[in-house]
């Protein structure tokens, strides 16, 4: 019998919760297999922007998100199956704890049939790791488990106690490897998560060092292939942006971009022109602008000093051309942004208002957005929000997002002329006609 072309060795890297080292381990495995001459495809569960940057640098290939709520089951299955047809190994990093969220990492691992590695931070723990692993395994018996990777092992004796606890679990859970404590392998973090990969000067050295450690473990050998089946057909995209050029801000201040969103814009016929506000680039000749989220609050002095980009954006908005801004992109449109240190930076002044970065999280979670723009009535965009700033914006309220899991008010969408802005990060595939309308395409 001929083997399916959509099969490939695969592992799903999860943990009991955040902070156990999922990203570090996933990136180290990707680097290990890549150095061995393997073509590695890595995916990140959930709506994360920062982890994929690290994983992309580790694997040498673009990293896309797998999110069952934002993208749906067929979209997730299609991405992984197509990757399996060309890759030697697939790694999927989970989000938060294995069973956290609705849908959870466990839901995705079960859908895809990928065996799970549970990364457990073993600091301050010995045989109890067996009870923790037993709970993870038995909570949903239909999941496939490859075993436990113990992170933060203090000594060979510590590893022996961990192994003893795992052997006493019912069923017994294998200890795939134990990594000794070494803080040089932890990845630096800030208020929105990991520090972006381009900002970690010695990231390659860190990944290579941990890959060296992994090379002597059982994980150096590829696991058995997973058959992902025939990929579901792709969703047809309407050619509503045909012939239009979309200018997209992309640099260290504006880097929260789903690769799938760029693919949707191109799939609707748009040409993309990238520019950097940090470099004070002139705005490319374009029909519409997309300002994605990112970290503008970390670059206030540079953004304030730049005049060319800001002038181009102001002229674009004053000419009545479409401009769509998400989260950090919205902050850049305001008069002023005040960082955590109290320093203020003058931004574009396209939307009257001010944003101040707060010490605590101000917004988090999935939301559905229904704008009912011309040509997109009844369409619902699936979005995610995650921000520490609080903004006061002097513009019309166009709509509010609807939270997925509670009844509190969702994020406001602001509108002034053809400028639309919100804290929401949209997943364009869920509402392509709305996206085309926001960017002044045929749907408008």
Residues acting as catalytic residues: 327
70 close to 382: Cβ distance less than 8 angstroms: yes
DSSP string spanning 213-257?
A: HHTTSGGGS---EEE--SPPPPPP---TTTT-EEEEE-BTTB-B-
The full length of the chain comes to: 444
Q: Are 272 and 266 in contact (CB under 8 A)?
A: yes
Q: How far apart are the first and last CA of the chain?
A: 52
Tokens of 178: 């134990």
How many angstroms separate the Cα of 347 from the Cα of each of 300, 305, 307? 8, 9, 10
Could you list the beta-strand ranges (E) of 96-222: 116-121, 145-153, 175-180, 189-190, 193-194
Residue 58 contacts by C-beta under 8 Å, 6 or more apart in sequence?
Answer: 26, 27, 28, 30, 31, 34, 42, 207
State the Cα–Cα distance between residues 182 and 422, nearest whole angstrom: 41
């Amino acid at each position: 019998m001929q083997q399916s072309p959509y099969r490939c060795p695969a592992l799903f890297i999860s943990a009991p919760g955040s902070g156990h080292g999922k990203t570090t381990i996933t990136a180290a495995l990707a680097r290990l297999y890549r150095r061995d001459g393997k073509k590695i495809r890595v995916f990140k569960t959930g709506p994360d922007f920062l982890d994929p940057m690290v994983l992309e640098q580790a694997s040498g290939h673009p990293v896309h998100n797998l999110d069952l709520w934002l993208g749906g089951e067929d979209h997730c299955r299609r991405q992984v199956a197509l990757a399996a047809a060309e890759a030697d190994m697939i790694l999927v990093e989970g989000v938060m704890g294995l069973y956290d969220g609705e849908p959870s990492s466990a839901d995705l691992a079960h859908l895809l049939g990928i065996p799970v590695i549970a990364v457990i931070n073993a600091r301050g723990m010995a045989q109890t790791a067996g009870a923790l692993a037993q709970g993870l395994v038995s909570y949903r018996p239909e999941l496939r488990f490859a075993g436990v990777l113990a992170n933060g092992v203090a000594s060979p004796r510590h590893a022996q106690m961990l192994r003893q606890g795992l052997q006493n679990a019912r069923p017994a859970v294998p200890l795939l490897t134990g990594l000794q404590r070494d803080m040089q392998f932890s990845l630096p973090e800030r208020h929105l998560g990991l520090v972006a990969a381009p900002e970690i000067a010695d990231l390659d050295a860190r990944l290579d060092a941990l890959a060296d450690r992994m090379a002597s473990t059982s994980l150096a050998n590829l696991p058995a292939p997973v058959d992902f089946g025939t990929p579901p057909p792709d969703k047809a995209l309407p050619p509503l942006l045909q012939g239009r050029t979309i200018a997209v801000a992309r640099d260290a201040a504006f880097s929260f971009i789903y690769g799938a969103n760029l693919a949707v814009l191109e799939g609707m016929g748009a040409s993309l022109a990238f520019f950097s506000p940090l470099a004070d680039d002139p705005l490319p000749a374009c029909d519409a602008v997309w300002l994605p989220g990112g970290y503008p609050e970390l670059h206030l002095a540079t953004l304030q000093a730049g005049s060319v980009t800001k002038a181009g954006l102001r002229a674009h908005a004053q000419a009545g051309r479409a401009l769509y801004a998400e989260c950090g992109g919205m902050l850049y449109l305001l008069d002023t942004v005040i960082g955590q240190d109290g320093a203020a930076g003058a931004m574009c002044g396209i939307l009257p208002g001010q944003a101040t970065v707060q010490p605590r999280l101000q917004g988090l979670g999935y939301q559905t957005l229904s704008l009912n723009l011309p040509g997109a009535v009844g369409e619902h965009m699936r979005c995610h929000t995650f921000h520490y700033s609080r903004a006061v914006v002097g513009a019309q309220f166009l709509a509010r997002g609807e939270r997925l899991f509670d009844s509190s008010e969702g994020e406001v969408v602001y509108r002034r002329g053809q400028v639309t802005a919100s804290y929401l990060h949209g997943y364009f595939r869920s509402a392509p006609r709305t996206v085309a309308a926001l960017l002044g395409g045929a749907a408008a």
